[in-house]
Amino acid sequence: LKKLRRGLGKTRQGLVNQIKAVVGQGPLNQDGVTEIETLLLQADVGVTATDRVLEALQTKLRAETLPPDEAIDYLKQLLREMLEEPYQKDYAPAITPERGTLNIWLMTGVNGAGKTTTIGKITHVAKQSGYNCLIAAADTFRAAAVEQVKVWGARSGVDVIANPGQNTDPAAVVYDAIAAAHSRESDLLLVDTAGRLQNKKNLMTELEKVRRIIDKKAPQAKVESLLVLDATLGQNGLRQAQVFSEAAQLTGVVLTKLDGTAKGGVALAVVQQLGLPIRFIGAGEGITDLRPFSSYEFVEALLS
């Protein structure tokens, strides 16, 4: 949490001090709201989410005056509510999945986003919590990717299913991995996929094929499709997210590299523009640097 706070400190200094400078001079007024708009956009919160904040602030100001502290509290509450919108009512922040069934988590995202690292972090936590895990190295496009995922598998003590040879079919690897997961009675199968965004059609075809194999071989499994997104990309990351959301039937987002970025506000843009919940956040390169997303923690780290 400290790392997240420190990391988001860059956003925070940019954001909270400036917001305080705006609201600290007395009750919030329309000029103040316009300044807050600029600040939110600079923090990569995005147009859609910013517009919603402004609308709510303006409505509130019509009914009452907002002294500085109340204005900050109200802003925090607004941001929290917006971040919580895509979650199911019973959502409780946790890294590990449901017990008593096979969970398959398809990890997507462009190369360098932090997919492999995130898989390593998740399996580490899951294994420590007593889950029987397996990794499918289905990024068969890059030989290095298979090696890298094996390194993380070894680190967390989790087996990796891979096909020897380059350019093997990712769907075939997933097929083998599901068979292995069934025979070992695994709780969680993490699938590393290729992240070639340059060719959207290939990406879609590949992911669709993998989905078909999962539906056929493991119809009972609880499937999640998680996009791993590099927070330091800010609004550019949002465009990537849009492409993946068209290709991968995403169910959530993992926001990485929140340590040391001034672009933490992108979380709000992702949630508001794509309607996807942020599931986990990465705040470092180490195996323990993953946290389940909590809107409360996030907003406190962003605005306190």
Work out which of 32, 46, 114, 264 binds ligand GDP, going by CB under 6 A: 114
Tell me: is residue 14 an annotated ligand-binding position.
no
Least distance to ligand GDP from the beta carbon of 239, Å? 17
Number of residues interacting with ligand GDP: please give it, by CB under 6 A: 18
Tell me: is residue 215 an annotated ligand-binding position.
no
Q: List binders of ligand GDP among 205-244 (CB under 6 A).
A: 228
Tell me: is residue 114 an annotated ligand-binding position.
yes
By CB atoms closer than 10 A (0-12, 13-18, 19+), residue 42 is middle
Specify the stretch interacting with ligand GDP by CB under 6 A; choose among 13-21, 33-41, 107-115, 295-303: 107-115
Work out which of 12, 76, 115, 291 binds ligand GDP, going by CB under 6 A: 115
Binding string, residues 147-166; x marks residues near ligand GDP by CB under 6 A: -x------------------
Tokens 């995202």 sit at which residue?
A: 109
CB-based contacts of 202, cutoff 8 Å, min separation 6: 196
Least distance to ligand GDP from the beta carbon of 23, Å? 32
By C-beta, is 115 or 263 nearer to ligand GDP? Answer: 115
Task: By CB under 6 A, tell whether 113 contacts ligand GDP.
Answer: yes
Specify the stretch interacting with ligand GDP by CB under 6 A; choose among 37-45, 68-76, 98-106, 283-291: 283-291
Specify the stretch interacting with ligand GDP by CB under 6 A; choose among 13-21, 115-123, 160-168, 200-208: 115-123
By C-beta, is 23 or 255 nearer to ligand GDP? Answer: 255
Least distance to ligand GDP from the beta carbon of 284, Å? 5
**210: left (phi > 0), else alpha (psi -120 to 50), else beta?**
alpha
Specify the stretch interacting with ligand GDP by CB under 6 A; choose among 81-89, 113-121, 127-135, 179-187: 113-121
Bridge partners of 278? Answer: 253
What span, in angstroms and rounded, lies between the C-alpha atoms of 127 and 202?
Answer: 33
Q: List binders of ligand GDP among 237-276 (CB under 6 A).
A: 256-257, 259
> Which stretch of DSSP H or E encloses residue 249?
none
Tell me: is residue 236 an annotated ligand-binding position.
no
Specify whether the CB–CB gap between 278 and 270 falls below 8 A. Answer: yes
What span, in angstroms and rounded, lies between the C-alpha atoms of 125 and 131?
Answer: 9
CA-to-CA separations, 301 to 115, 205, 289, in angstroms, rounded: 24, 39, 16
As a whole number of Å, the end-to-end CA separation of the chain is 13
By C-beta, is 114 or 237 nearer to ligand GDP? Answer: 114
DSSP annotation of 221:
S
Tell me: is residue 163 an annotated ligand-binding position.
no
What span, in angstroms and rounded, lies between the C-alpha atoms of 220 and 3?
Answer: 38
Give CA angle at 121 (261, 129), nearest 5°. Answer: 135
CA-to-CA separations, 10 to 4, 244, 263, in angstroms, rounded: 10, 28, 8
Binding site members for GTP: 109-116, 192-196, 256-259
Task: Report the interface residues with ligand GDP, using CB under 6 A.
Answer: 109, 111-117, 148, 228, 256-257, 259, 282-285, 289
